[in-house]
Structure formats: structure tokens, C-alpha cells
Amino acid sequence: MLSLAAGVMADLPVPDSVTAAAAAGWPACGVWFDHEVWTAAHEREVLRRVADSGIAVLDVEPIIVGLEPDVSERLVDAAAALGARFVLFTARVADQALVVERFGHACDLAAAADPRLTIVYEFLPAFPIGTLAGALGVVRDSGRSNGAVLVDNLHLSRSGVMPEVLHSLDPSLLPYLQVSDAPRQAPKGSDELLHEARHARLWPGDGELPIGELLSAVPHVPLSFEVRSQRVRDTFRDPLDRAAFAWSRVHHLA
């Protein structure tokens, strides 16, 4: 399954993004949860667009430890209502015990809301718990069976890990992937890494990351295309135009 990541459309209204993704041919999409916008009426409209279009919701994001307010319960409830398979979780704080506690709590909320829902820890090298090993540690220490790790290949590369390492992991810990491309050389510094991740990603094949090796190491899982790019946002301001362009760049990987 190929999915249009929420971050690609995060500057656009969620209902319009859902409709555009479906119209462009995407079988699935991600949904961005903004607690200031996500009212009961907003959720009903998103649900209506999902139902009318027939698109699947792969994931909902983000829960971020270190940002207030804590949106865990509201976000998990929204994800369950949308029939999503995953909720993205990360942390801006270095307190491992706190992060493990909050991750476990999110997993418990998910188990109560929908037994099919999995909480995935996405590690970013610009954040304190920013490695594959750190993310695996959070999931392990939480002791929850509905917790897993989300590997974004840009973050994997920028943390200095090659995809071949993933061969040795339990496949249940890697239920899907986020995919984009970038130059081989990493930016220097946390601010620069965050800028690249949010504004300067490339489409698969336009950079130098080992995407083929990634797909070989973690085969037969959903792929979420997280190509957050200021150039794409500026060029394709219309939701359908952007979603259609994105689909044209990756549909051959289906």
C-alpha cells in the first residue's frame, strides 16, 4: 500500500487533502491532527470525506512529548474513528523514563480505542532520543505489544545507520516505512537537520539515499511518502495538483 504522508499536505485543510489524495489515485493517506482546528465538526467533515472517497487512512500524527497540551487522548480517539492503522509518536525531551511512560500511556489509549491501532515511535536525529536504538529502547521498555518503531529513511540515514541493520530486527517492530530522498551528505547541526526534514526533502530517485536497500530490508509493508518540500508547496498550492504530482512520482513503486 502506498500512502501520501500528512506532512506533504500539512499546510492545507485536512478535508481537502483527503479528497485530493483519493482523486489523484492514492489508495491511502495520512492525516494531520491540529488540536486547535480539530473540533467535533471538523472530525465529522474529515470522516465524511474519507467515507465518500473510499480512501484508507494509514496514520494520524503527531503526538509529541514536550509540546503542550497533551493531545494523546483526542488524537488516538480521532485515529480510531478514522479507522487508521497507526499513530505517530515522538519526543522533544531527553527524559527517557517520561517518554517511556507517555508512550505506554498512548499504547493503552490505542488498545482501548481500537485493538488494531498501533503507536509507532518515530525517531528524529535532531531530537534527544534520535536513533533507531533509542526508539527500540522506548518500545521495549514500555512493554506494550501494540507499540512499534517507524523508520523514516531520511532520519535513519542522518543518524548514521544503513538499512541493512533492519534485516536483524523482528518484522513486527517495523510495520511500515516513511520514504523520501536526499543528498548523501547530511546537514550539520540540529536546526539544519530539522529544516531539511521539514522543507527540503526530495522525491525517490532524485537524491542519493539507499532506497532500494531499505525496501529489501523491510519488504512487503505500507510505504508512506514523506516528501516535505518547500519547493513542492510553492509550486503546487492546489491540493489536487499537489497530490497528483506526488502520485506521478511514486506510483511505479506500488
In tens, the pLDDT along 168-212 reads 999 999 999 999 999 999 999 999 999 999 999 999 999 999 999
> Would you mind telling me the total number of residues written for the chain in this entry?
254
Q: What's the CATH superfamily of 2-253?
A: Divalent-metal-dependent TIM barrel enzymes (3.20.20.150)
Q: How far apart are CA 148 and CA 37, in angstroms?
A: 28
- Using alpha carbons, select from 64, 91, 61 the residue that is nearest to residue 75: 61
Residue 70 has φ and ψ, to the nearest 5°, of: -75, 115
In tens, the pLDDT along 20-33 reads 999 999 999 999 99
Provide the residue ranges of all domains of the chain, joining segments of one domain with +.
2-253
Query: Structure pTM?
Result: 0.97
In tens, the pLDDT along 57-92 reads 999 999 999 999 999 999 999 999 999 999 999 999
Q: How far apart are CA 118 and CA 190, in angstroms?
A: 28
Q: How far apart are CA 205 and CA 210, in angstroms?
A: 10
Q: How far apart are CA 197 and CA 5, in angstroms?
A: 13
